[in-house]
Chain A
Amino acid sequence: MSLDRELYKGQTPAWCPGCGNFSILETLKEALSELQIRPHQVTLVSGIGQAGKLPHYMRCNTFNGLHGRTLPVATGIKLANHEMLVIAVAGDGDCYGEGGNHLIHAIRRNINVKLFVHNNQIYGLTKGQSSPTSLQGMVSKTQPFGSLSEPLNPLAMAVALDCSFVARGYAADREYLKYLMKEAINHRGFALLDILQPCVTFNKINTYQWYAERIYRLDDSYNNTDRKLAFETALQWGDRIPTGIIFRNNKAVFEEKIPVLKERPLKNNFNPPEDLQTLLKEFY
């Protein structure tokens, strides 16, 4: 039984008509309602960019922090309350650019946080500069000679780091995106879900049509536990772009390795210690 989706109703989005973010938002609400996760049982952590505004457009606990810093905040929340579902929503500039270092270390920790990246290969909020995932040669006002650097391949990087869940979705394939979101949420450990999302205003290259010609779903025969195959699959880009769960493993979850968190969430143990004399005695 799904929960009523009205539960998650938030403010009216201020995104451009036709933006891929609309379907990501609606799909997320669907996924949560089908998983019967109530608004107060989930915390969305976001940064800055159009993706960063998503939590305001639904109803849930929200920490809309700084550009690039979603994962550290999400990590802190998860460690203080590991019973809470914590989802970080970020854009490609936010998470692969400004906050790139945090992504590497969140993967290393394998903290049980879900990262949904709205990857539109462009900077939308600042009006059309190239992003870390922009294709080489993409011309913009700040890159008049075209984007000179190679695009980051977040999925190949995540597989290389042995990230415990690596997937790619596409904003316009909502049914499959919902499946991927639910799988990511149900996975035990850090989950990276990169969501390709057309920016209808600024990205004139990676359009709905461009994606439609290239996107395909990985089929059931694909073995997503084979890391070498996963790396090869993650490298696929160009004429054919795979979506689906590219890689997963079952390694130990960070917070489960912390003895202090074995019995109950840290937040339930907020009182100061009763016996301070023992601590003081050590200084004599």
Chain B
Amino acid sequence: MDYTVVIAGEAGQGLQTIGGILSKVFARSSFHVFTHQDYMSRIRGGHNFYQIRFSDKPVSSSKSRIDLLVALNRESIEIHKDRLTEYGMVVYDASYVKKTYQGDEFLDVPFESISRELTGSSLMSNTVATASVLGMLGMDLNIYEGIIKESFKKKGEDIIKKNIDASRAGYDYAIKKCLKCRFSVPSGVGRPGLLINGNQAIGLGAIASGCKFYSAYPMTPSTGVMIYIASKAKEYGIVVEQAEDEISAINMALGASFAGVRAMTGTSGGGFALMVEGLSLAGMTETPIVIAEVQRPGPATGLPTRTEQADLLFLLYAGHGEFPRVVFAPGSPEQAFYLTNRAFELAEKYQIPVLILSDQYLADSQWSYEGFDLSEISFTDYRLRGREFQALKQYKRHLLTEDGISPMAVPGEGEHVVVTDSDEHDEDGHIIEDAETRVKMVNKRLKAKMESIRQEISPPLYYGDERAEIVLVGWGSMYGILKETVDVLSSKYPISMMHFSQIYPFPSIKEHDFMERLKMAQKAICIEQNATGQFARYLRSETGFDFDLKINKYDGRPFMLDELIGQIEEII
């Protein structure tokens, strides 16, 4: 069983609510769930859709074909009807869209009039629609009723009852009328699953890592990280500040970090462009910071609500001058959760900026999991506080040490003063201009740290045939689609995936043998969502390896599983 449900309509019609609830019902019914969102940069109107795939086997990408389309307007039917599978169905409200469609695949459920008849208003139309989908699929209504009770708890018994009545009516109507429905959904056997998207996973990872300060300027598609952390701020003792611009956002976070707390900011490409000087400041003052850059297609304003992986080289080289950094690009919400924790640990340990590179596809896609292993989360306080700081005879913020790491004290917790400077400085943190100190500081800040940092970086994840002749190489949000592609194609070819999530510094090729696998492959294909093959270029600059096959997509939309498989089969 492997079904795709698409909810489509205009912005403002509530398709996110319907999509969100259905995904939750599927996850709670112990199915594997993968969702992605396609929306326009507008508040009302236009055409948006929410795509859900659920299966009794693991899923980590979307398909082109639709098994069940919930059409909230006429345009949605026109746009998506050619995507229906052989037994695919469309459910819609003929009186609302003012057109009746002929054909077995169309099921007219009067969402609005059912809602009106039962409750006196059209407000429950989406409840009717949601329940009718469950009816068509032949699933149980219990889980949905549970969700209604949870989400309307604060609104009172009356609202709960009205929603439950509306859901039952929609459910019964669909069962009675959908004689052509051939869906067969087994009743769940496993445990209810956790459902989380990329932005939430970064936010959750940050809170779990002890992030206490988050300053940002809202920018799609990164705002979800800020919204999640802000929603937990009071409960978990976090200060979240909406800055006047991205320049302020990164500088505030650096101030908070200097003063003794773990701090983070988040943005998308255009906002990150404004942060670049601040990134360099973090490098010079050795102030730990974690930055989430959730990409959207550029240049300039680009396609604000869509996806691309075109900021990789920008992030690797952003900032004037030379300083150490780490760049992670998680491939799934699970990786985003653990890598955000790793980002904080490395930022604090080495007193450097650590960047998390995500994109709209990962940010808004939900994945289901049995759970996250919280024992994998680590926390070490690398700062010098209280008595330990006070007990020092003298203190130098930028003390020259063999490993390049100077003691990082919390100002005010001892009689010593903590001094740092964006100018080149001496061990005390005071401005200097002499050549000798300059060289010592660069060696300490950059060279001494860089080799140890490289040791912290894990090799790429290898998945599939150990003796693969075809190796699919990708990074960041390509993980899910490449993994499933390998699953599908492995019955036909000796194929595997090599996925990079720890991007910079490049994993040591002296200590790991992943490059041998690439060299041995007859066909190595680098698959990325950008026009110029930025990762392929980066890998070549680090290893000399040249990809002869590349697949690049830059239309702002994610790869569909069948689409990518088609493209791969065409070139191998």
- By the criterion of a CB under 8 Å from any partner CB, how many residues of chain B are at the interface? 71
Asked whether, in the complex, the Cβ of B212 is within 8 Å of the Cβ of A102, the reply is no
Asked whether, in the complex, the Cβ of B281 is within 8 Å of the Cβ of A65, the reply is yes
Q: Mark A258-284, 1 if CB is under 8 A from B, else 0.
A: 111100001101111100110110011
Q: How far is the CA of A267 from the CA of B372 in the complex (A)?
A: 28
Q: Choose from B212, B372, B411 the contact partner of A266 (Cβ within 8 Å).
A: B212
Q: Which residues of B contact A75 (CB under 8 A)?
A: 241, 248, 252, 255
Asked whether, in the complex, the Cβ of B256 is within 8 Å of the Cβ of A63, the reply is no
Q: Choose from B28, B252, B371 the contact partner of A73 (Cβ within 8 Å).
A: B252
Q: Which residues of A contact B215 (CB under 8 A)?
A: 76
Q: Choose from A40, A64, A76 the contact partner of B417 (Cβ within 8 Å).
A: A40
Q: Choose from A61, A73, A269 the contact partner of B411 (Cβ within 8 Å).
A: A61
Q: Taking the complex as formed, is A60 at the interface, i.e. its CB lies under 8 A from any CB of chain B?
A: yes
| Chain B: minimal CB distance from A226 (Å) | 29
Q: Which residues of A contact B412 (CB under 8 A)?
A: 40-41, 43, 61, 81, 83-84
Q: How far is the CA of A273 from the CA of B27 in the complex (A)?
A: 27
Q: Taking the complex as formed, is A69 at the interface, i.e. its CB lies under 8 A from any CB of chain B?
A: yes
Known: A53-B431, A65-B285, A279-B207. A76 touches B415 (CB 8 A): no
Q: How far is the CA of A270 from the CA of B213 in the complex (A)?
A: 10
Q: Which residues of B contact A84 (CB under 8 A)?
A: 259, 411-412
Q: Mark B97-127, 1 if CB is under 8 A from A, else 0.
A: 0000000000000000000000000000000
Asked whether, in the complex, the Cβ of B255 is within 8 Å of the Cβ of A266, the reply is no
Q: Choose from A60, A83, A276, A283 the contact partner of B377 (Cβ within 8 Å).
A: A276
Q: Taking the complex as formed, is B418 at the interface, i.e. its CB lies under 8 A from any CB of chain A?
A: yes
Most buried by A among B194, B212, B416: B212
B residues 230-264 touching A (CB-CB < 8 Å): 232-234, 236-239, 241, 243-245, 247-249, 251-263
Q: Which residues of A contact B243 (CB under 8 A)?
A: 72, 105
- Give the nearest-CB partner of B208 in chain A: A276
Q: Which residues of A contact B259 (CB under 8 A)?
A: 43, 76-77, 80-81, 84, 267
- Give the nearest-CB partner of A98 in chain B: B247
Known: A76-B253, A79-B239. A62 touches B417 (CB 8 A): yes
Known: A104-B244, A266-B213, A279-B232. A66 touches B277 (CB 8 A): yes
Q: Taking the complex as formed, is B61 at the interface, i.e. its CB lies under 8 A from any CB of chain A?
A: no
Q: Choose from A39, A48, A72, A81 the contact partner of B252 (Cβ within 8 Å).
A: A72
Q: Which residues of A contact B411 (CB under 8 A)?
A: 40, 43, 61, 77, 81, 84
Q: Taking the complex as formed, is B419 at the interface, i.e. its CB lies under 8 A from any CB of chain A?
A: yes
- Give the nearest-CB partner of A8 in chain B: B417
Asked whether, in the complex, the Cβ of B245 is within 8 Å of the Cβ of A101, the reply is yes
Q: Taking the complex as formed, is A172 at the interface, i.e. its CB lies under 8 A from any CB of chain B?
A: no
Q: Taking the complex as formed, is B196 at the interface, i.e. its CB lies under 8 A from any CB of chain A?
A: yes
- Give the nearest-CB partner of B421 in chain A: A64
Q: Taking the complex as formed, is B195 at the interface, i.e. its CB lies under 8 A from any CB of chain A?
A: yes
Q: Choose from B200, B278, B419, B423 the contact partner of A69 (Cβ within 8 Å).
A: B278
Q: How far is the CA of A79 from the CA of B239 in the complex (A)?
A: 8
B residues 402-434 touching A (CB-CB < 8 Å): 410-412, 414-423, 429-431
Asked whether, in the complex, the Cβ of A270 is within 8 Å of the Cβ of B422, the reply is no
A residues 25-50 touching B (CB-CB < 8 Å): 38-41, 43, 45, 48
Q: How far is the CA of A271 from the CA of B239 in the complex (A)?
A: 14
Q: Mark B482-516, 1 if CB is under 8 A from A, else 0.
A: 00000000000000000000000000000000000
Known: A76-B254, A261-B239. A40 touches B415 (CB 8 A): yes
Q: Choose from B239, B253, B257, B415 the contact partner of A260 (Cβ within 8 Å).
A: B239
Q: Taking the complex as formed, is A74 at the interface, i.e. its CB lies under 8 A from any CB of chain B?
A: yes
Q: How far is the CA of A84 from the CA of B232 in the complex (A)?
A: 26
| Chain B: minimal CB distance from A235 (Å) | 26
Asked whether, in the complex, the Cβ of B247 is within 8 Å of the Cβ of A72, the reply is yes
Asked whether, in the complex, the Cβ of A269 is within 8 Å of the Cβ of B237, the reply is yes
Q: Taking the complex as formed, is A227 at the interface, i.e. its CB lies under 8 A from any CB of chain B?
A: no
Known: A271-B379, A280-B194, A283-B194. A39 touches B417 (CB 8 A): yes
Known: A105-B248, A271-B210. A80 touches B261 (CB 8 A): yes
Known: A39-B417, A69-B247, A101-B244. A76 touches B195 (CB 8 A): no
| Chain A: minimal CB distance from B466 (Å) | 35
Q: Taking the complex as formed, is A56 at the interface, i.e. its CB lies under 8 A from any CB of chain B?
A: yes
Q: Choose from A55, A83, A260, A276 the contact partner of B238 (Cβ within 8 Å).
A: A260
Q: Taking the complex as formed, is B193 at the interface, i.e. its CB lies under 8 A from any CB of chain A?
A: yes
Q: Which residues of A contact B248 (CB under 8 A)?
A: 69, 71-72, 75, 101-102, 105
Q: How far is the CA of A122 from the CA of B431 in the complex (A)?
A: 23
Q: How far is the CA of A266 from the CA of B215 in the complex (A)?
A: 14
A residues 94-110 touching B (CB-CB < 8 Å): 101-102, 104-105
Q: How far is the CA of A80 from the CA of B261 in the complex (A)?
A: 7
Q: How far is the CA of A272 from the CA of B372 in the complex (A)?
A: 17
Q: How far is the CA of A74 from the CA of B241 in the complex (A)?
A: 14
Asked whether, in the complex, the Cβ of B213 is within 8 Å of the Cβ of A76, the reply is yes
Q: Which residues of B contact A284 (CB under 8 A)?
A: 27-28, 192-195
Q: Taking the complex as formed, is A11 at the interface, i.e. its CB lies under 8 A from any CB of chain B?
A: yes
Q: Taking the complex as formed, is A59 at the interface, i.e. its CB lies under 8 A from any CB of chain B?
A: yes
Asked whether, in the complex, the Cβ of B255 is within 8 Å of the Cβ of A272, the reply is no
| Chain A: minimal CB distance from B430 (Å) | 5
| Chain A: minimal CB distance from B482 (Å) | 25
Asked whether, in the complex, the Cβ of A279 is within 8 Å of the Cβ of B234, the reply is no
Asked whether, in the complex, the Cβ of A73 is within 8 Å of the Cβ of B239, the reply is no
Most buried by B among A72, A269, A279: A72
Q: Which residues of A contact B281 (CB under 8 A)?
A: 65-66, 69
Q: Which residues of A contact B260 (CB under 8 A)?
A: 80-81, 267, 270
Q: How far is the CA of A87 from the CA of B273 in the complex (A)?
A: 28
Q: How far is the CA of A64 from the CA of B419 in the complex (A)?
A: 8
11 residue pairs A–B, Cβ–Cβ below 8 Å: A40-B414, A56-B430, A61-B419, A62-B420, A62-B421, A72-B243, A81-B260, A84-B412, A259-B234, A260-B238, A276-B208
4 extra A-B contacts, CB within 8 A, seeds A69-B247, A101-B245, A280-B194: A72-B248, A77-B255, A80-B257, A283-B200
Q: Which residues of B contact A (CB under 8 A)?
A: 27-28, 192-196, 200, 204, 207-210, 212-213, 215, 232-234, 236-239, 241, 243-245, 247-249, 251-263, 277-278, 281, 285, 371-372, 374, 377, 379, 381, 383, 385, 410-412, 414-423, 429-431
Q: Which residues of A contact B (CB under 8 A)?
A: 11, 38-41, 43, 45, 48, 53, 55-56, 59-66, 69, 71-81, 83-84, 101-102, 104-105, 258-261, 266-267, 269-273, 276-277, 279-280, 283-284
